[in-house]
Structure 1
Amino acid sequence: MNFENILTETNNGITQVTINRPTKLNALNKDTIQELHEAFKAADKDKNTKVIILTGSGEKAFVAGADISEFANFSEEKGGKLAAKGQKILFDYVENLGTPVIAAVNGFALGGGLELAMACHIRLASDNAKMGLPEVSLGVIPGYGGTQRLPQLVGKGRALEMIMTAGMIDAETAKNYGLVNHVVAQAELMPLAEKMANKMMRNSSVAIAKAIKAVNAGLEEGKNGYKTEIKQFGKSFGTADFKEGTTAFLQKRTAEFPGE
């Protein structure tokens, strides 16, 4: 696929998706959001892709926010539709993807950028990363899931402090808050993401997808995570990956999962 605002590359089971708008600090506009949706959809359907790594081009920014010029003159109705569409085709879509997504956060992850990182399953950060939700300084609130995912990750008090002060936190603070899993030097960020991806690829991609579904259910209002876990656990017994995994264990050999 050819995109204007993102780059994609697949090697050895990993699809890297890079937001490539360096002159705009990789800010999200409607075209970039649509392209990301298409890239994630294609990678999820690609049997050669076991893990997706999302990052931003350059050393300054993962995503420095949304492209404010696109919605500065929106009405209430248009603003609501903007948030609803964005959440549906990108942020919620990524969170519920069966293929694991690792966000490699380099530099600024602000507003929609932090919201996108939070939608990913795991976040890694370079030591120069800065994160925040500055929307209230513009007279608006986070609209791509930030008011929901941030409290889940860091707790209500810290989330409200970040949102209401519109301030930024550094990478080490983000790690202490539980917002990111690991912090490394910028040169080590992508190697760490690839190392983690390779660990995931040794395991059953079918089981991983079911685990993502079960974990998400426990955080979703109106769903019973325990019931979802029981259902997905049971369904695992009907997969070729379960047969291979248990057979390999009993035969004391490394499993070669077919991904079915």
Structure 2
Amino acid sequence: MAAVRMLVLRSGLAGLRPWAASSARFMSSSPSFQFVEVERRGAEGSVAVVALNRPTALNALSEALMSELGQALDAAEREASVGALVLTGRGRAFAAGADIKEMRGRRFPDCYREDFLANWDRLARVRKPVVAAVNGLALGGGCELALMCDVVYASEEAQFGQPEILLGTLPGSGGTQRLVRAVGKSLAMEMVLSARRLSAHEALQAGLASRVCPQAELLDQAVALAERIARCSQVATTMAKEAVNAAFEVGLAEGCRLEKRLFHASFATRDRQEGMDAFAEKREPRFTHQ
């Protein structure tokens, strides 16, 4: 167990407890980070838990943190044994927004020339399923990160908001677009224009979150969902994620055509044959992700 503790980068993530050596494994391709923690969870290490780790700054999203998050996501994408991810935050915040101290000196020419925030949507481009475990404040860029995830679980202490208007600006990493799709125009407008925050239960009622959990159970429940997803065929979950996301980007007819094409394509996989054989034979499927 001591060896495992040495491996875990600054262990102590809220909600995490020490894990047995068989379940606390790092991705072989994952580098060491200062602002992000990565841990493997699940019986077969099939879930990558990625934790934002600037607790003294409420996990404010600095350029360095976002760069490390991108690297951690790249490593999880490359690791074939990872079937799903969980994103959470260390301490009492998921992420309280962008690092304003780092941002305040920027000017328009630099923002425009450098395409500021261009890489902050890396999470939205992850092909594997991602579950957000929102353990506290998810404001500004933190709310936008949660919106980029595929499923949102919230602790009873979570709060969601887009307070950029109070800084004389507006969301810049998809908040105005994804929030409307999650909660509808009227509530999104209220949140963006007045900086109103949603409690966890309000987020559940509005459709931003799919479950509210006690703080102490949040991470375990998010990992349990991610592990359940990871037990399925990775080919099928990737296809299904692509089809669902298309519903927000194309019309109904085109979305249904894409769904049908992906459904047909699944018949070229070994996992589809195995899944149907297992159903017919009344046994658990043994997916090989091929």
Aligned residue for 2:165? 136
Query: Is 1:22 paired with 2:55?
Result: yes
CA apart distance, 1:221? 5.1
Q: What is the CA–CA distance in structure 1 between the aligned matches of 2:201 and 2:246, rounded to whole Å?
A: 29
Q: How does 1:21-40 map to 2 (within 5 A)?
A: 21-40=54-73
Indicate the SS of the match to 2:278. helix
The partner residue of 1:73 within 105, 118, 127 is 105
The partner residue of 2:266 within 228, 236, 247 is 236
Matched to 2:35, the amino acid is: N
Aligned residue for 2:275? 245
Matched to 1:170, the amino acid is: S
Mark the CA change 1:81 to 1:183 in structure 2 (over 3 Å): closer, same or farther: farther
**Is the Cα contact below 8 Å between 1:244 and 1:257 reproduced in 2?**
yes
Q: What is the CA–CA distance in structure 2 between the aligned matches of 1:69 and 1:250, rounded to whole Å?
A: 60
**Is the Cα contact below 8 Å between 2:83 and 2:231 reproduced in 1?**
no
Q: What is the CA–CA distance in structure 1 between the aligned matches of 2:76 and 2:61, rounded to whole Å?
A: 20
Q: What is the CA–CA distance in structure 2 between the aligned matches of 1:193 and 1:156, rounded to whole Å?
A: 28
The partner residue of 2:40 within 6, 10, 14 is 10
Q: What is the CA–CA distance in structure 2 between the aligned matches of 1:255 and 1:196, rounded to whole Å?
A: 18
**1:17-40 residue CA offsets vs partner (Å, 9 max, x unmatched):** 000001110010111111111111
Higher helix residue share: 1
Q: What is the CA–CA distance in structure 2 between the aligned matches of 1:81 and 1:68, rounded to whole Å?
A: 20
Matched to 1:108, the amino acid is: L
Q: What is the CA–CA distance in structure 1 between the aligned matches of 2:278 and 2:134, rounded to whole Å?
A: 36
**1:155-186 residue CA offsets vs partner (Å, 9 max, x unmatched):** 00000000001121111111111111111110
CA apart distance, 1:96? 3.2
Aligned residue for 1:187? 216
Query: Is 1:52 paired with 2:85?
Result: yes
**1:72-97 residue CA offsets vs partner (Å, 9 max, x unmatched):** 12222333466x5535x342x32232
Q: What is the CA–CA distance in structure 1 between the aligned matches of 2:72 and 2:128, rounded to whole Å?
A: 12
**Is the Cα contact below 8 Å between 1:33 and 1:86 reproduced in 2?**
no
TM-score by structure 1 length? Answer: 0.94
Aligned residue for 1:63? 95
My pick for the range that moved more, 22-31 or 214-223, is 214-223
Indicate the SS of the match to 1:135. helix
Indicate the SS of the match to 2:274. helix
Indicate the SS of the match to 1:109. strand
**Is the Cα contact below 8 Å between 1:109 and 1:132 reproduced in 2?**
yes
Which stretches in structure 1 are left out of the alignment for 5+ residues? none
Matched to 2:50, the amino acid is: V
CA apart distance, 1:118? 0.4
Query: Is 1:147 paired with 2:179?
Result: no
Aligned residue for 1:174? 203
Q: What is the CA–CA distance in structure 2 between the aligned matches of 1:152 and 1:19, rounded to whole Å?
A: 25
Q: What is the CA–CA distance in structure 2 between the aligned matches of 1:105 and 1:237, rounded to whole Å?
A: 36
Cα RMSD (Å): 1.6
Q: What is the CA–CA distance in structure 2 between the aligned matches of 1:3 and 1:79, rounded to whole Å?
A: 26
CA apart distance, 1:253? 1.1
Q: What is the CA–CA distance in structure 2 between the aligned matches of 1:149 and 1:187, rounded to whole Å?
A: 28
**Is the Cα contact below 8 Å between 2:37 and 2:52 reproduced in 1?**
yes
Matched to 1:86, the amino acid is: L
Indicate the SS of the match to 1:219. coil
Q: How does 1:111-122 map to 2 (within 5 A)?
A: 111-122=140-151
TM-score by structure 2 length? Answer: 0.84
CA apart distance, 1:222? 7.8
**Is the Cα contact below 8 Å between 2:37 and 2:53 reproduced in 1?**
yes
Q: What is the CA–CA distance in structure 2 between the aligned matches of 1:251 and 1:222, rounded to whole Å?
A: 39
CA apart distance, 1:195? 1.6
> Alignment length, in residue pairs?
256
